[in-house]
Amino acid sequence: MTTAINTPGVPGRDGSGQPNGLDVIDPYRIRQDFPILDQQVNGKPLVYLDNAATTQKPLAVIDAISSYYLHNNANVHRGVHTLSQRATDDYEAGREAVRRFINAPDANEVIYVRGTTEGLNLVASSYGRKYFKAGDEVIITGMEHHSNIVPWQILGKEIGIRLRVVPFNDDGELLMDEYEAMLNDRTRMVSVVHQSNALGTVNPIPEMVELAHARGIPVMVDAAQSIPHMPVDVQALGADFLTFSGHKMYGPTGIGALWGRAELLDDMPPYQSGGEMIRSVTFEETIYNTLPHKFEAGTPDIAGAIGLGAAVEYLESIGMERIAAYEQALLRYGTEKLGDIEGVRLIGTAEEKGGVLSFYMEAAHPHDIGTILDSEGIAVRTGHHCAQPVMARYEIPATVRASLAFYNTTDDIDALVKAIDRVIEVFG
């Protein structure tokens, strides 16, 4: 049975007067930074609960991008003219903002990429081709996004490496004993998602890193879903590579970052080649540029990098600790509310999890549920969420996924619950 989580008129207190954490942030104030949220969809106020797919962009990000195009547009690192210098300064300021945000030791270790997918491909391709040989093993987990499966699989076919997969329990928690038993002399890399997009599970990265490092094995972290929702500190995690996408952290699409330890990146061959990544070129030989330029061939997404820097500053102005605390409170609220609806089965009930409410209903196919929710103005994702092995593990075709951001409110959850009641009315 639900205990009323909000006492009307007393934000931040539950029905018994206890603190519920929902007053850490004022989401109604925050929403003013996101004009897109203030609109009607299908005649109903928009309830945007598809944040794991992509987040909305605050005015600070939109303004930073338009200001670059209005005032400073030029190519970076090439011109001595003023606009080029301004563009270069802003582009590099974005890199420094990312460094600070993830507490990386050095901005040269931060490489701009298109997003998480490219970060993972870069490491698999560059590190893997240099260091892996037939018979080697790469460990991933059963809850990876396809972008942390397929690059290793393709490499595996080419070189003859074996992919080992750490299983998880019914709640969506990794079986750490099995992970430990998988690490061996043939393991060349562990590549693991920090927070699962399909289940919300937050994996114990420091523990996984410690076990891998004890055997000299590097660890790559897919932080696509963790970086928008909690403090991510590469030094505290202890990982060797970490990658994420700008568009899931309130920044633009087409930009993200890969962080790696300088000593590893220095020894890796370029991923793509052409302009910018060279120091000198003759027809006989090319000397590569230093980090980070060695991995940034061609004209980069300059506006994207500037927008990413603005997104970082925006998140810093609110504070990642506060964001995490608020979203956890909202997740508790949503979990309790959805848990009360008969016929709704939550998929992903790990002890440590982020703001993802994935669910399945026998009564209706997830796509039909999604369509009804859309008619109520509610945006959720339905499908396999690019994590088909997760669906196979639960023997379901797809889920409906409501994913939270700090601009979501308890009203949004209440609207979702009401719309699910409507689904039940329609499908019985």
Cβ at position 160, least distance to ligand PMP in Å: 26
Q: Which helix (H) or strand (E) covers residue 153, if one does?
A: helix 150-155
Residues 261-290 touching ligand PMP, rule: CB under 6 A, are: none
Instruction: Write down the least CB distance from residue 146 to ligand PMP, Å.
Output: 8
C-alpha to C-alpha distance for 329 and 20, rounded to whole angstroms: 6
User: Which lies closer to ligand PMP via its Cβ, residue 228 or residue 292?
Assistant: 228
197 binds ligand PMP (CB under 6 A): yes
DSSP letter string over 42-62? TTEE-EE-BTTT-----HHHH
Report the distance separating Cα 423 and Cα 96, nearest Å. 48
- Residues 6+ away with beta carbon under 8 Å from 406: 25, 27, 30, 318, 323, 326, 327
Of the ranges 15-23, 26-34, 110-118, 369-377, which one interacts with ligand PMP (CB under 6 A)? 110-118
CB of 400 to ligand PMP, least distance (A): 16
Count of residues of this chain found to bind ligand PMP when the rule CB under 6 A is applied: 12
Radius of gyration of the chain (CA): 22
DSSP labels, 202-265:
BP-HHHHHHHHHTTT--EEEE-TTTTTTS---HHHHT-SEEEEEGGGGTS-TT-EEEEE-HHHH
Per rule CB under 6 A, is residue 191 in the interface with ligand PMP? no
- Closest alpha carbon to 36 in 62, 16, 8: 62
Is 318 a binding residue for ligand PMP by CB under 6 A? The answer is no
Q: From residue 346 to residue 385, what is the string marking binding to ligand PMP with x (rule CB under 6 A)?
A: ----------------------------------------
Q: According to CB under 6 A, which one of 21, 27, 115, 383 is a site residue for ligand PMP?
A: 115
Catalytic annotation present for 423: no
245: contact with ligand PMP by CB under 6 A: yes
222 binds ligand PMP (CB under 6 A): yes
Q: Which is catalytic among the residues 41, 320, 386, 424?
A: 386
Pairs from 89-93 (Cβ < 8 Å, separation ≥ 24): 90/302, 90/305, 90/306, 90/309, 91/300, 91/302, 91/305, 91/306, 93/306, 93/309
Residue nearer to ligand PMP on the CB measure, 88 or 147:
147
In the bound state with ligand PMP, the residue whose beta carbon lies nearer, of 65 and 224, is 224
**Does residue 187 touch ligand PMP according to CB under 6 A?**
no
By CB under 6 A, name the binding residues for ligand PMP. 115-117, 145, 147, 193, 197, 222, 224-225, 245, 386
